[in-house]
A and B are shown apart, each in its own frame.
Chain A
Amino acid sequence: MDNIFLHFGDRFIRIVRILIESFPKLLVPCLKITITLTLFSFFFGLILALIIALVQVADIKGLKQFARFYVWIFRGTPLMLQLFIIFYGLPSFGIFFNGYVAAIIAFSLNLAAYNSEIIRSAIQAVPVGQSEAGYMVGLNYFQVMTRIVLPQAARIAFPPLFSSLIGLTKDTSLASSITVIEMMSVAKRIAAVYYEPFWMYMEAGFIYLMICTILTKMQTAFEKSMEWKQPDEAVLVKEVTEKQDLEREDRGLR
């Protein structure tokens, strides 16, 4: 009996030690690669998505068809395949990228396809009466879009866009397949060295979970700040007194 407990205790201590030792080894590539990969890809992907969505909403001949074609291609093929074509395929045409850059390109292009659909549907979800009212107060198309439609669409698109950001954080693990040393590939290597795959992958999973928890908290905070809500009582009082001042001035002039 004593032996078994001793054995159990030894193993427990060993695992804890491996987990503690490996934690910084995972955290460094997480901060350096996983997070930067996510942020760069999301940033470029979002800009591209906005362009693809606006081209369709504005119904620009030719460009609209191209946008549909683009979405069809990038949603219709696996992300892994897109990574392989950019990293392994393009060199045969003399175009070389290192793994990190290739990953950003592939993630951005792929994400743009999905996010453009989110943005497009959000724009179309803004009631047409909002634009009509904009035109009737004298705004032009550009002003209607930037002042009225896009701010309202942003609020609608925000939760699904944030979901795609969270999804991307985990999809970056695919970059390990094109030689990028990110958190997942480090976990795999450490797991092989100590032969403790269960605990290593649990640890990597824990770090992913922590990142996504932080992101979710951020989402809630952002959504709150985007609400069109009741004004401050103080602001209200200030406005009314300002108005009364104006009236007093007017009377003085008369």
Chain B
Amino acid sequence: MLGVRNLHKSFGSNQVLKGIDFEVNEGEVIAIIGSSGSGKTTLLRCMAFLEQADDGTFMFDDLSKDIRTISKKEIKEIRMKMGFVFQSFNLFRNMTALQNVMEGLTTARKIPAEEAKKTSLEMLEKVGMLDRANYYPDQLSGGQQQRVAIARALATKPEVILFDEPTSALDPELTGEVLEVMVKLAREGTTMVVVTHEMEFAKNVANRVIFMENGVVVEEGDAKEVLTDPKQEATRRFLRRILRKEEEE
């Protein structure tokens, strides 16, 4: 449904993605793991056209095209069917939680305000933020902001939602409330691509795990298999390091 083939991306002389193949099917939850600098966030951002990839094929529904030739109009159409949740939430600071969720419906999709509001309130309820509907982002905790951001991504009924390390910017005690919402979405069959450091989440919720290192996909497969019995040495090394860090905490 969403995928890339042979994706390349460099920042200056620094090659960040060295020919990535990636695909997510409808209803799937994919976790992309790897240490920082492995290129996993760049991969996600390239698929949302927040970064311009240098080479590769981009696939979305029936569209399959050289990623460099995709027009602005096509990008906009693709984004209309895509949700994105940022590491730093990026809620519109000049709008309340409710207005944040409504914005994509009223301004971008020209849905009447009454209808948009109804949908938005439902989404806020789903993430447990209904009682904060009229609060501004600055008045919400990180976890609350991220839950509103998820509601905002959900409101437009996207075919797939991309999560860029959604809990990394949160205090440890706040990650739970966000993960809880994401588990709920996964159970409902939402198609999700999640760049994450949360191994428990990856193990229990994801169908498939992709392990990246130095701009290439090192290992890919069933989530439980990759995380409990990895085939590659690099994956094993990474998991050991993560485990040790978690124990220290």
Interface of A toward B, CB cutoff 8 Å:
127, 129-130, 132-140, 143, 147-148, 151-152, 155, 228-231, 235-236, 239-240, 242-243, 246
Contacts and interface: CB of A to CB of B under 8 A. Distances in A.
A127 B104 CA distance: 19
Interface stretch (B10-18, B78-86, B202-210, B237-245): B78-86
Interface stretch (B30-38, B55-63, B88-96, B182-190): B88-96
B82 A136 contact: yes
Interface stretch (B1-9, B130-138, B214-222, B228-236): B130-138
B147 interface: no
Contacts of B149: 133
Contacts of A129: 86, 88, 90
A139 B98 contact: no
B90 A138 contact: no
B69 interface: no
Given A130-B92, A134-B92, A138-B76, 15 more contacts: A129-B86, A130-B90, A133-B92, A137-B108, A138-B80, A143-B107, A147-B107, A152-B93, A229-B139, A230-B136, A231-B96, A231-B134, A236-B133, A239-B133, A243-B121
A181 to B, nearest CB: 44
Interface string B94-114: 101010000110011100000
B84 A136 contact: yes
Interface of B: 48, 50, 76, 79-80, 82-84, 86, 88, 90-94, 96, 98, 103-104, 107-109, 118, 121, 125, 130-131, 133-139, 149, 152-153, 156
Given A137-B104, A138-B156, A239 B118 contact: no
Contact of B93 (A130, A231, A236): A130
Contacts, number: 89
Nearest to A135: B79
Q: Which one of B50, B82, B107 has the highest number of Cβ atoms from chain A below 10 Å of its Cβ?
A: B107
Nearest to B106: A147
B133 A139 contact: no
A136 B103 contact: no
A141 to B, nearest CB: 9
Contacts of B83: 136
Nearest to A238: B134
Contacts of B135: 230-231
A228 B86 contact: no
Nearest to B132: A236
Contact of B94 (A138, A152, A235, A242): A152
B177 to A, nearest CB: 20
Contacts of B82: 136
Given A138-B79, A230-B135, A239 B98 contact: yes
For B76, B92, B118, B139, the residue with the greatest tally of chain A CB atoms inside 10 Å of its CB is B92
